[in-house]
Structure 1
Amino acid sequence: MAPSTSHASVLLIATILALLLAATPITCWRPWPHLKPNSSDLLYDSSKKFEGSSEFVHLRYHMGPVLTGNITVHTIWYGRWEKSQKKIIREFINSISTVNARPPSVSGWWRTVQLYTDQTGANISHTVQLGQEKNDRFYSHGKSLTRLSIQSVIKSAVTAKSKPLPTNPKNGLYLLLTSDDVYVQDFCGQVCGFHYFTFPSIVGYTLPYAWVGNSEKLCPGVCAYPFSVPKYIPGLKALKSPNGDVGVDGMISVIAHEIAELATNPLVNAWYAGQDPSFPVEIADLCEGIYGTGGGGSYTGQMLLDHDGATYNMNGIRRKFLVQWVWNHFVSYCTGPNALDQ
């Protein structure tokens, strides 16, 4: 006998909640190493060469799809955004595929991501391009979002009566960016950004997506490090951001982190370390907090200084950015275009 409509609804809700809870460990990432309050192990002081440490890393391919076709990033701007802020983020995404930037470049960083392949041997696409955008400046789902309501925001964007975002499950990435007055479940306490895929029961499609929040008002010392620092670490000074916007410059590395993991593990069944797909460690997780040679433990690694004193490690088309490194499975350590030994 088929279950009643109400019973089926209960089963559907329970299934969705179980999947959401299972997704939680996938997305926990902060741009600075975890330190205990009052830690004396300050972030700039110890030089531990983590990027050469591969003894306990067993990154494997689990036969799922990766993004081998040209990647299109469709952006949802949730809340109030300044034109200047949007421009910084757009120029970073455009820089991923450019061949014109001066080294060390964002496109040089992406070449490590391109090393990953699917089961046919096809590499991650070289091309990452901006797709269509959707503005949700009136906070259609409120200023406090859950993991479930994030998918509802994406649904609203792809089903809108006026200029809906295209649905491209194969090569589209859906990037939900929330403004600095929006709180998302686990934001600041556990995550600065996360990725997963939408459920057809909510959105109508299985779409790889990522959320990243602007932390400038809520927790810049957590999610915009090193351009803002935790207040509980005495004597630690923030670095100058390369584009003059602490919140957005802090978002850039999180956006890069999530795009790299979406490309190599879009449905959470491709490239990751660990035995349990509910608790994967992905190619950017392995390099958390590492921005240059010597990075690891509590040290960011060697970065670069602009003529005005701003800190960065990669050049884009017209701007400079600070972006964390990613794991290179051929050499079994974290790599980036600003490495001193390449």
Structure 2
Amino acid sequence: MVTMFLKSMLFPLIFALALAPRSQGVSQSRSQSQPSLATTFNEIKYHGGPLLTKPNSINIYLIWYGAFSRNDRSSITDFFASFNPSKGLVPHQEPTVATWWKTIQTYKDKSGNSVSSTVKLVKQIGDIYSLGKNIKRAQIANYVKHKIETKVLPFDSNGIYLVLTSRDVIVERFCMGSCGFHDNIVVYTERTRLVYAHIGNPLVQCPGLCAWPYSLPAYGPPGQQALVAPNGVGADGMVMNIATIIAGATTNPFKNGYFQGDPLAPLEAVTACPGIFGEGAYSGYPGNLMVDKISKASYNAYGANGRKFLLPAIWELTSSKCKVIH
């Protein structure tokens, strides 16, 4: 399985949290004694496999599994709407979610085709615990496959079938070195592999891991304060992890695209840049971020309908560095 936040990237982040002080909603200057994380020792390499490169868009088929608040739903759907600059964005307000995606577009397949230029939420369905509240990863794969084969969801070779689970649902390995994962399945009616993914709501299960820097781990040093989340800790944690997953799923959909290390536990386009969100990031400090004057919420990207989001750095192939949105 392809997972995010595996041990290889968890340790630097958790260790960082134990070291660096941070005050809520306030940008800090980087200490000269702290090394920048903008350049890492990871080198993302292309292994020759296909990417999601069709010219129109990467289509998201969203499954809301469990009970979600209205705020969580609207925050996440607004995130996907933000890939389209015409969807409720204030003119000339930069950087945006679409700006962030431009770095992913520099990833190309062996024919020179770039990753699709945008991401689009095509269809949403809901499910109130048909599999129960304690789920194995294999169940998610079979669940998605069944939805496609029974035509509840369409067959789409350039799509990502994204299962979001609510905060009361326990998914195998979630919070145990993983905030979500992407993988692929064979749909037998078409004999073609499709990409699916899972993201959990970290609000009550592991906010200090999967919603950092909007929540801190319980074992961190005293006196630290989490940053203020613009859309709520659970929603913003999910958005950060969705961004990480779709970046990896598009550039390494079948475990033979762009990655570094073991193909079963790879570092991908975003997971090669753990804990980096702004310029000047170092261990335990996410970097210089914008701060809302009224709410004191920290963010680095503007989105649809007045939303503000925090998006992770992406490994930039041309510079071999972690590129932050700006």
Q: Provide the TM-score with structure 1 as the length reference.
A: 0.83
Residue from 45, 48, 52 that aligns with 1:63? 48
Q: Does 1:145 align with 2:170?
A: no
Which stretches of structure 1, 4 residues or more, deviate above 6 A after TM superposition?
29-32, 201-204
Structure possessing the higher radius of gyration over alpha carbons: 1
Matches within 5 A, 1:318-337: 318=305, 319-337=307-325
CA separation in 2, counterparts of 1:267 and 1:186?
21
Q: Does 1:131 align with 2:122?
A: yes
Tell me the alpha carbon deviations over residues 49-73 of structure 1, each in whole angstroms, 9 at most, x when there is no partner: 11134xx333211111111112100
Contact in 2 for aligned 1:26/1:194 (Cα 8 Å)? yes
**Equivalent residues, number:** 308
Shift of 1:205: 5.0
Q: Does 1:267 align with 2:257?
A: no
Matches within 5 A, 1:3-42: 23=1, 28=6, 33-36=12-15, 39-42=18-21
Alignment partner, residue 314 of structure 1: 301
* Structure 2: 5+ residue stretches without partners: 24-29
Secondary structure class of the residue paired with 1:88: helix
Structure 1 residues 266, 39: CA separation in 2 closer, same or farther (over 3 Å shift)?
A: same
Q: Does 1:96 align with 2:83?
A: yes
Bigger mean CA offset, 320-329 vs 28-37: 28-37
Tell me the alpha carbon deviations over residues 195-222 of structure 1, each in whole angstroms, 9 at most, x when there is no partner: 1112447997521111100011212122
CA separation in 2, counterparts of 1:28 and 1:131?
30
CA separation in 2, counterparts of 1:258 and 1:194?
7
CA separation in 2, counterparts of 1:134 and 1:153?
13
Secondary structure class of the residue paired with 1:133: strand
Alignment partner, residue 161 of structure 2: 174
Alignment partner, residue 264 of structure 2: 278
Structure 1 residues 314, 37: CA separation in 2 closer, same or farther (over 3 Å shift)?
A: closer
CA separation in 1, counterparts of 2:189 and 2:4?
20
Residue from 88, 97, 100 that aligns with 1:106? 97
Q: Does 1:210 align with 2:197?
A: yes
Structure 1 residues 297, 134: CA separation in 2 closer, same or farther (over 3 Å shift)?
A: same
Alignment partner, residue 26 of structure 2: none
Structure 1 residues 66, 305: CA separation in 2 closer, same or farther (over 3 Å shift)?
A: same
Tell me the alpha carbon deviations over residues 72-131 of structure 1, each in whole angstroms, 9 at most, x when there is no partner: 000010001123211110110121232655201111110000011111111111121111
CA separation in 2, counterparts of 1:86 and 1:32?
31
Shift of 1:277: 2.2
Structure 1 residues 165, 38: CA separation in 2 closer, same or farther (over 3 Å shift)?
A: closer
Structure 1 residues 97, 32: CA separation in 2 closer, same or farther (over 3 Å shift)?
A: farther
Alignment partner, residue 7 of structure 1: none
Secondary structure class of the residue paired with 1:285: coil
Secondary structure class of the residue paired with 1:155: helix
Residue from 256, 264, 277 that aligns with 2:243? 256
Identity %: 37
CA separation in 2, counterparts of 1:37 and 1:306?
25
Residue from 279, 282, 305 that aligns with 2:291? 305
Residue from 262, 281, 301 that aligns with 1:295? 281
Instruction: Read off the aligned partner of 2:113 and give its amino acid letter.
Output: A
Instruction: Read off the aligned partner of 2:135 and give its amino acid letter.
Output: L
Contact in 2 for aligned 1:38/1:232 (Cα 8 Å)? no
Alignment partner, residue 225 of structure 2: 237
* Structure 1: 5+ residue stretches without partners: 1-22
CA separation in 2, counterparts of 1:177 and 1:269?
25
Q: Over the residues paired in the alignment, what is the CA RMSD in angstroms?
A: 2.5
Larger relative contact order (CA 8 Å, sep ≥ 6): 2
Alignment partner, residue 110 of structure 2: 119
Instruction: Read off the aligned partner of 2:13 and give its amino acid letter.
Output: H
Structure 1 residues 26, 106: CA separation in 2 closer, same or farther (over 3 Å shift)?
A: closer
Contact in 1 for aligned 2:3/2:182 (Cα 8 Å)? no
Contact in 1 for aligned 2:290/2:298 (Cα 8 Å)? yes
Secondary structure class of the residue paired with 1:327: strand
Contact in 1 for aligned 2:50/2:254 (Cα 8 Å)? yes
